[in-house]
Homo-oligomer: A and B are copies of this chain.
Amino acid sequence: MTQPVSETLRVLIIDDHPLFRRGLRQLLALEEGFEVVAEAAGGQEGIDLARLHDPDLILLDLNMKGMDGLETLRTLRDLGIEARIILITVSNAPEDLIAAIRAGADGYILKDNDPTDILQMIRGAMEGRTAISPELTSLLATALREESRSEERQHASLTERENTILKCLAAGMSNKLIARELDIMEGTVKVHIRNMLKKLKFRSRVEAAVWAVANGLG
């Protein structure tokens, strides 16, 4: 917690692509003030190393096999890791960006950005600004606009059934109750809920219900 301000920044790199790790490491080596203290090839290893080294900055790949970047990010935050965490990815999908920011990412940088720009964004993130690749900011804006225009929205990609079931969740109902209400099997309710959770990137019905209520489905 008592972090000397002008010291070198201790960096952890999590990416399952060895070549890209090396690239990042060299990029940072050329710069003053960065020290890569560890590299991990996967989410779980990254988490372990984060707890071990307590770095100031974590560069995290979003698209990893096994435990993916988003899951890793969430776990890191859940564990109370307070390092700056910047996602570095090839995905320019809006939902990935949104999910990352919601999960507490301090930056979201595309891999094909210019190295100079990447460095600049990293520095920006270290100073408290959320670093997002310029070409993505419009996506974010759009998403946020949609986010706030509540009002009977068909939640993005949700099907009609998933939507009505989300409303049931927002009413606090159990699977059994929803099944009775909609006159379908409880197992079917579970299928819809599973698909909905996946689409909206929630981890449990409670998260979904809370979000739904907070966003006007209550």
Contacts and interface: CB of A to CB of B under 8 A. Distances in A.
Interface of A: 78-80, 169-174, 177, 180, 202-211, 213-214, 218
B206 A213 contact: no
A31 to B, nearest CB: 35
Nearest to A74: B177
B80 A210 contact: no
Contacts of A211: 172
Contact of A210 (B79, B174, B204, B218): B218
Given A204-B172, A204-B174, A180 B79 contact: yes
Contacts of A171: 210
Nearest to A213: B213
- Pairs A-B, 10 closest by C-beta atoms: A172-B207, A172-B210, A213-B213, A214-B218, A172-B206, A210-B213, A206-B209, A209-B210, A213-B214, A206-B206
Contacts of A174: 203-204, 206
11 contacts: A78-B177, A78-B180, A79-B180, A169-B206, A171-B210, A172-B202, A172-B204, A172-B207, A174-B206, A210-B213, A210-B218
Contacts of A210: 170-172, 209-210, 213, 218
Contacts of A206: 169, 172-174, 205-206, 209
A215 B30 CA distance: 53
Given A78-B177, A172-B202, A213-B214, 16 more contacts: A79-B180, A169-B206, A170-B210, A172-B203, A172-B204, A172-B208, A172-B209, A172-B211, A174-B203, A174-B204, A174-B206, A209-B210, A210-B210, A210-B213, A210-B218, A213-B213
A203 B174 CA distance: 9
Contacts of A204: 172, 174
A170 B218 CA distance: 13
Nearest to A79: B180
A203 B177 CA distance: 12
